[in-house]
Amino acid sequence: MIIDLHNHSTKSDDGRAKVSSYCRWIHKREIPIHGLVLTEHRQFDDESDYRELEDEHDLLILKGSEVETDYGHVLVFGVNEDLLNAFDFGAIDLKLADVVQAADRCGGIAVPCHPGRPTVGMVAHYEERGPIEGVRVIEVYNGGSRAGEDEASLALARELGYYGVGGSDAHLVSQIGLCATKFERDIRSMEELVMALKEGSFEAVSWR
């Protein structure tokens, strides 16, 4: 099962795509993904209900978040009430160590995204301050990466033994499905996604 783990809708301040438009584009272009995760910036969207879109387009639609830490941006999967109370999702100065520990403690997982990107990726921070304990998975393919950024992410994953995922980081409809993650088994819920990420039963894929 292939899921695009990193996307933004109009719920994000810089998102320009409606979720319904993503779904139509996936079918129109016959993009080979079976689901997507909406990771809105500095928030968790607990209001939107995408079950009708899921049924209409035969797609899995899950919700996570993208938060900002001292080591760069981080995707958070498995957001629940306990995790929402653990730290301020809207803050721009979170500690990566705190986010990783809180996610794990509350049954979720934190995945640093576009690590090879200057300033908002963690490769440069690792070079200056060293690795953070508890990180197990990082994004190695990102649809918005520039030349050399994914290569830096892949090198970090190899060096430290991290599992690698892929996500489009889509903000526009045409960006969906550029990168994704192929899981060895079917995923039907966020709980199953988190479990699979912790097990490492997946591989990153890219169509860029």
pLDDT at 89: 99
Q: Which tokens in the block code for residue 85?
A: 């109370």
The string of pLDDT tens digits covering residues 97-146 is 999 999 999 999 999 999 999 999 999 999 899 999 999 999 999 999 99
Q: How far is CA 188 from CA 84, 106, 113, 199, in A?
A: 22, 20, 23, 16
- In contact, 62 and 51? CB cutoff 8 Å: no
pLDDT at 127: 87
The predicted model gives 142-157 an average pLDDT of 98
What b/e sequence results for 155-189 when a residue is b if at least 16 CB atoms lie within 10 Å of its CB, and e otherwise? ebbeeeebbbbbbbbbbebebbbbbbbbbeeebee
Band (pLDDT 50/70/90 cuts) for residue 172 is very high
Q: Is the pTM of this model over 0.95?
A: yes
The percentage of residues in the chain with a pLDDT greater than 70, rounded to a whole number, is 100
Could you give the domains of the chain? 2-206 (3.20.20.140)
- DSSP SS3 for 55: helix
For the cut 90, the answer to whether the pLDDT of residue 66 exceeds it is yes
pLDDT at 72: 97
